[in-house]
């Protein structure tokens, strides 16, 4: 993971509460201390990178992390700020989102006629999945924007499983949706060419179509990135409980369906060996052993590279503690 010279993307995901952020942050520290300028990104609305690094990384902008050998930056995507931007853009010049969109498509008259249905209010409200869409837009920036070109490693601390799967499937969904809109626009354009020439909206419509086509092409790039076995890897994080292992198996199955490469499974919070167990520890160790045996026999997980992270007697917080964890996990 460290030795490769080309740019690499790592996504860490799994059930809530298994320690994804600590594992993602420790991997980022490991990369930075190995000479790779690194960016760690949280796409989880409930950010905890600041807590993990014990530094204020809030604000939704690139923030430097102190204490590593090579540059390490963190970015907590701010969904509330992005929602406000969404509303502002959609309500510019006193209009509504649906009116602006349909004006751009040369269908402003139709939007006026539909105004009484209050469709504008519906579209001016951020839709479900906006957090994932915002994360996708950031991925596009990582691919294209010059300010991100310095980073040879980008680590994603993703939201719990359901959000992550929406994030991974969103490029397919948007690509198909934009394709349908473009086809519909083409049909409308051919049927209303005379009207367009009268009102002089040809250029405006074509500009809207070009923007949609550009967005569709970017979605294809993101989809290809998520599925590129040479540049991207999804790392599943779990803990040694039956419930967590079962969810990890379902996650891996979903990743395979999305053609997202996953090779590693981190089992976090494993009890270290002990010569004298209390009754509670003995029962806990027995439960963990049962869960670890599940991994060995589960058809979804048995082929993965299994890595264990011990349950430690201190809080993993701050760069030195993250380095300590990373030296154990990322061998």
Can you list the positions of beta strands (E) in the chain? 8-13, 38-42, 63-64, 72-76, 153-157, 232-238, 262-270, 305-310
Tell me how far apart the alpha carbons of residues 68 and 11 are, in angstroms, rounded to a whole number. 21
- Do the beta carbons of residue 25 and residue 68 sit within 8 Å? no
Tell me how far apart the alpha carbons of residues 177 and 240 are, in angstroms, rounded to a whole number. 40
**Catalytic: which of 44, 100, 124, 175?**
44
Residue 124's DSSP bridge partners are none
| C-alpha triplet 103, 105, 109: angle, nearest 5° | 45
- Beta strand 153-157 pairing with 38-42: parallel
- Do the beta carbons of residue 107 and residue 188 sit within 8 Å? yes
Q: What are phi and psi of 152, to 5 degrees?
A: -95, -10
| C-alpha triplet 110, 114, 118: angle, nearest 5° | 145
User: Would you call 103 a catalytic residue per the annotation?
Assistant: no
- Do the beta carbons of residue 42 and residue 48 sit within 8 Å? yes
| CA dihedral sign of residues 288, 289, 295, 298 | negative
- Name the residue among 17, 62, 16, 67 with its Cα closest to residue 40: 62
Tell me how far apart the alpha carbons of residues 167 and 183 are, in angstroms, rounded to a whole number. 25
- The set of catalytic residues is 44
């Amino acid at each position: 993971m460290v030795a490769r010279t080309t740019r690499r993307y790592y996504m860490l995901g799994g059930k809530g509460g298994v320690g994804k952020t600590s594992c993602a942050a420790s991997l980022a520290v490991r990369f930075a201390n190995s000479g790779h300028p690194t960016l760690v990104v949280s796409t989880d609305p409930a950010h905890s990178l600041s807590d993990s690094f014990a530094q204020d990384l809030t604000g939704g902008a690139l923030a430097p992390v102190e204490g590593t050998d090579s540059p390490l930056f963190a970015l907590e995507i701010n969904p509330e700020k992005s929602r406000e931007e969404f509303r502002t853009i959609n309500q510019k010049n006193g209009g509504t989102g649906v009116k602006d969109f349909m004006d751009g498509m040369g269908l402003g008259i139709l939007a006026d006629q539909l105004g009484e249905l209050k469709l504008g209010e519906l579209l001016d409200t951020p839709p479900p999945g906006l957090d994932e869409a915002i994360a996708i837009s950031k991925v596009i920036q990582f691919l294209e924007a010059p300010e991100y070109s310095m980073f040879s490693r980008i680590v994603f601390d993703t939201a719990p499983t359901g959000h992550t799967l929406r994030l991974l499937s969103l490029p397919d969904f948007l690509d198909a949706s934009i394709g349908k809109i473009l086809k519909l626009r083409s049909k409308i354009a051919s049927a209303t060419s005379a009207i367009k020439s009268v009102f002089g909206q040809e250029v405006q419509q074509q500009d809207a179509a070009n923007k949609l086509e550009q967005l569709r092409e970017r979605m294809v790039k993101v989809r290809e990135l998520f599925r590129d076995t040479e540049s991207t890897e999804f790392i599943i994080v779990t803990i040694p409980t039956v419930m967590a292992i079962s969810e990890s198996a379902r996650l891996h199955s979903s990743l395979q369906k999305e053609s997202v490469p996953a090779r590693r499974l981190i089992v976090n919070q494993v009890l270290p060996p002990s010569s004298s167990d209390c009754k509670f520890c003995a029962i806990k160790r027995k439960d963990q052993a049962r869960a670890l045996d599940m991994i060995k026999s589960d058809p979804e997980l048995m082929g993965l590279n299994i890595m264990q992270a011990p349950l430690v007697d201190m809080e993993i917080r701050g760069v030195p503690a993250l380095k300590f964890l990373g030296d154990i996990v990322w061998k």
